[in-house]
Chain A
Amino acid sequence: MSDSNNDSIHEDTTTGLNNRKLLMWAFLGSDCMFFASLIATYLVYKGKSVTGPNPIDLFSIPVTSVSTFVLLMSSMSMVLAYSALTRGRLKVFRVWLLSTVILGMTFLGFQVFEFRDFTVNEVKISCEQNSPKYLELENKLSNSQKSEYKKQCSENLESAHIEFGMTPRTNLFGTTFFVLTGFHGAHVTIGVIWLLSLYFYSFKRGAVSAERHLDVDLAALYWHFVDIVWIIIFTVVYLFGVYEGF
């Protein structure tokens, strides 16, 4: 979209704002409604799953806190990249831009790890009569999981290992969780591709410079937005899911 790609300081528009920047803000407004609808769906269905697992059975707050921190740091490196560019320091700009890409990819790596971890989750339940773990999970286990527990215990094991994983098909929590965080992950992926494209584009002479920084500015806006959405998701989905009454 480089219909007006020579972003000089004075814009020849009615308001003096750049067209593409205005477009980006309008898009972000629209994207707010997109995530608002997904989060609303998640909240409407919170605690309505017929079977487990529930958030408290799967989430590891320390792990997700680390990936959240990584994503927050990527916003900072994005700011530093943009700041370096406006000061004309192209090499520093590239370093920070690439850092942002790497941090974004690290976040995505965490997400892939987490998704996989959730799908292959297993619980260990001791076979003693009325074991507290069994009582806790009794309402969340499906009938086939319960018979698997009885089967393993009848084989004189001390404890049973029950598959307690979650896919988008398992229950409402799985459905809403994977679709919401999946679409956020897709946004991050698009952002990573965009920033990486800008990184290679910056090697073309004069493509980005202290005067021509709009392309980077727009990508940065998008990146920060995706970051903010994650803060909401982390709070609403992860923290509210694990800490009762949060």
Chain B
Amino acid sequence: MTSFPLQISRPIHPTGIWNWITTIDHKRIGILYGVTAFILFIIGGIEAMLMRSQLASSNMKLINPELYNQLFTMHGTTMIFLAIMPMGAAFFNYLIPLQIGARDVAFPRLNAFSYWTFLAGAIILNASWFLGGAPNAGWFGYAPITGKAYNVGHGIDFWIVSLQVLGIASLAAAFNFIVTIINMRAPGMTFSRLPVFTWMSFITAILLVLAFPVITVALIELMFDRFYGTNFFITSAGGNPVLWQHLFWVFGHPEVYILILPAMGIVSEILPTFSKKPLFGYPVVILSGIIIAFMGWMVWSHHMFTVGLGPVANSVFALTTMAIAIPTGVKIFNWLATLWKGSLTLNTPMLYAIGFILTFTIGGISGVMHSQAASDAQQQDTYFIVAHIHYVLFGGSLIAILGGIYYWFPKFSGRMYNETLGKLGFYSFFIAMNITFFPMHFTGLNGMPRRIYTYSSEFGWDFWNLISTIGVFLLAAAMIIFIYNIVSSWINGEKAPADPWDARTLEWSIPSPPPEYNFAVIPTVEHRDDWWEKKMQNKTSEEISSGDIHLPQPSYWPFVVSIGLLIAAFGLIYNIPVAILGTAITMIGVYAWSFEPVNDPD
């Protein structure tokens, strides 16, 4: 195969940084995703701390209004697209092949491409801080304030282009996981035996595939308005800003479930393990997930109750919103029933999972309150909504992700974490979280609007704002305990056995950390919770590998294609010839990728 000029052979045993740049091992990519997302989570957290410092008391002058607008926009965008979504992707990457008994994902190079493209998107978005100011129109970027007439700098351009790049990364990853879960399952791993986390990831991937094109189109329209003077959201030409809201929330509401379903999957793995019981009502939990994903498409206008869509639209969306609480509630009762009469082990991951049920329920209840269109008119754009979103995203998605990090820590690091520090970290985190976000219910009901950089003392919002600000610094301290525990345990924790939790799913049947090929022998699955059943029947004898395991080899091209996209994105904002150069690099990368030899003689 020498016809294609760029047919460079694959890297053989790369070392040092090239080892990471060319890796296509799903476990390494999972760790890259997780570490990168965690760093971005800290950046988003610092942005939140700056905002809370400014709001600590009335008429503070710490941060000016322009910077404040940039901070809340970047905080929201970072936390949703650069922290929680990629943390979910980290779990998908690491766990899905292990849980379904596969040696890798269906498209290992595409997987590497997803990660590098995600990193490119993160770089583009955060580069805006240093290149004339970050985006400042909120994470939802409502028209017309994102239009050229009201927003002259490059901030919104960075926002548009980075979200497009992140969309490519998410779509590529979602295609990959869909194919992996459908096509790479071990013999006997039917859909009715699939671990719940993998099931929820599967549903999430389908949501991603269908929801992201919608925001892609919305962003394309906004981009054409800004770059080429089209009229999509220009009111003087008849354009309608409400169209942006519709497109954004048709994406945005499924996005909410993209953020929470993986968390529900994680919790559904932790609770049965430490209750020594199978998950209560497995088919119902799965079905609820499917119904949530389906109905998630019918509720978007509840973000728009105050737009004035009319009583019929408001009533319909109020009803669908109330209805979607039912499958969510069903899941909560399933988790409670899993705990019921279980023999509970209250270690750190279990505490996070139970904490998830508590805080997510609070967030879910305030969510149902918003479904009442009439009362929502009072809550819209107040701190009550801020409280709600943080109870479901922070007290829902993030708390489950942290629990998941502890739960699978022995698996991916090969070491045990410090249990005392873990529990201390959890309790301080849980208390600090509630100190931070619960008072926002009060300030919100007292009428404090979101996205204001300061307020007057006569409103009486000072006290609870101060409590929230104290809470966020306690939260930072709790996160430092978490980071210290993870880092120090990763470096010199006790060696972890293959199955420290006496757990249920296939990833615990292989050594910690797993070998590059995952399974020496591809398992044959006979039950749901197969590993548990095998342990019960004493069928866990070590099988010896035949020795000849074919693994996909590392590749340069995913990295090259992502670099091309990064250059093209900057070119789109500043200089079209540079964009053409970036596209050319991408094209060359795609061709070289397509013609890359599959197997090199070693």
Contacts and interface: CB of A to CB of B under 8 A. Distances in A.
B209 interface: yes
B423 interface: no
B231 interface: yes
B114 to A, nearest CB: 13
B238 A13 contact: no
B175 A2 contact: no
A202 to B, nearest CB: 12
A17 B178 CA distance: 13
Given A23-B106, A172-B237, A33 B183 contact: no
Interface in B198-221: 209-214, 216-218, 220-221
B565 to A, nearest CB: 16
A33 B210 contact: yes
Interface residues of A, number: 39
Contact of A179 (B175, B185, B224): B224
Nearest to B1: A204
B387 interface: no
A26 B231 contact: no
B232 interface: yes
B229 interface: yes
A41 B184 contact: no
A158 interface: no
A17 B174 CA distance: 18
A45 B238 contact: yes
B184 A26 contact: no
A2 B210 contact: no
B109 A13 contact: no
B contact face: mostly helix, strand, loop, or mixed: helix
B109 A171 contact: no
A107 to B, nearest CB: 22
A3 B179 contact: no
B189 A168 contact: no
B214 A22 contact: no
A1 interface: yes
A123 interface: no
B151 interface: no
A44 interface: yes
Contacts of A44: 240, 243
A1 to B, nearest CB: 6
A33 B212 CA distance: 9
B303 to A, nearest CB: 17
B297 to A, nearest CB: 11
A79 B230 CA distance: 39
Contact of B175 (A23, A41, A197): A23
A121 interface: no
A119 B58 CA distance: 56
B6 interface: no
Given A14-B185, A22-B183, A23-B106, A179 B214 contact: no
Contacts of B171: 30
Contacts of A22: 106, 178-179, 182-183
18 contacts: A2-B598, A3-B108, A3-B109, A3-B598, A22-B179, A23-B175, A26-B174, A30-B171, A30-B212, A33-B213, A34-B213, A37-B214, A41-B232, A45-B238, A45-B243, A172-B238, A174-B230, A175-B237
Interface of A: 1-3, 5, 13-15, 17, 19, 22-23, 26-27, 29-31, 33-34, 36-38, 41, 44-45, 48-50, 168-169, 171-172, 174-176, 178-179, 183, 197, 204
Given A2-B596, A23-B179, A45-B238, 19 more contacts: A2-B594, A3-B598, A5-B598, A14-B189, A15-B182, A22-B179, A22-B182, A23-B107, A23-B175, A26-B174, A30-B175, A30-B210, A34-B216, A34-B217, A37-B247, A169-B228, A172-B232, A175-B237, A178-B230
- 3 residue pairs, one from A and one from B, having the closest CB atoms: A37-B217, A34-B213, A33-B213
